[in-house]
Amino acid sequence: MVLCFLWTCSVALFMDGAPRQTMNLLSQATSWLCVYGIFGAVYSPLMEDNRVFLAESNSVKSLRLFDGALLWSSITGGVSFGIAKSAGFVVVNSFRTGLFAYDADTGRLRWHNPLAEDCLSLSTPCIYDSKVFIVIKRSTAPSGFEAAYDLGNGRLVWKEEVGDAGDSSPACDGRRVYIVGLRGIVSCLSAKNGKVCWTVRIKAGSSCSPSIAGSYLYLGDSSGWLYAIDTNQGKIVWHYRTGGMITGSPWVWQNQVLFASTDGYIYCFDYTK
């Protein structure tokens, strides 16, 4: 089940095998139910401009936020793990069938960039400055690529090989792109040309997508460590051990960074200045 809290005091629930619905947090009443043939798991729906965008087992859909009316639906032909929106484009990354970009208003396919046969990708697209960044990994090895595509036409801008590709999504601050792999290698690449700026190894592998606040990168790993890493030099500034695994991405809010651990606690830190 995925819970998505909205500024309108509503919460959107997306559950495998059950109707998708939104609830008003003040009255605790159901606002609407979605019954449009959504199949399989729904990963991190996106709410923007009074619309809900969601990707599921073989399609991407747009619903009207206030009543759940279906605005459009398009077939991807594969399991989609993440969705992003920018400049009128909705971009979906599908497990083995590649990147799809749709017109956010009409659902018309604008472009499709398939993956190579020996590659797959589980990362949510990261869009920054008219570029779409994703992590691509090889099917039979931990290595893979970080790739950047032009948002307008889907053409490959650059593609750089990395030794530890992983399953997490990239983060971008405009100058650099940051990824972390399942063997615990954090890589920083130039957003302009893909050149590797630095790498640093953490204590364990990670499937957490990193978050950026100021000049620091925050992430967790599978052994329960939280990290703050200097984005300029790639040095670990501090780390903190929790009692469980860190499997979700950190959330940066105002001057604080929040992490959840499988030990049952939520951790809150003042972010590093």
For residues 254-264, b (16+ Cβ closer than 10 Å) or e, as one string? eeebebbbeee
Q: For each successive 10 residues of the chain (273 residues), what is the average pLDDT?
A: 40 46 51 55 78 86 88 83 91 89 96 91 92 93 94 97 92 96 96 97 93 93 95 95 92 88 93 63
pLDDT at residue 137, rounded to an integer: 92
Residue type, 115: L
- What integer pLDDT is reported at residue 34 of this predicted model? 57
Amino acid (one-letter) located at 238? W
* In contact, 246 and 226? CB cutoff 8 Å: yes
Domains in the chain, ordered, with CATH? 1-114 (2.40.128.630)
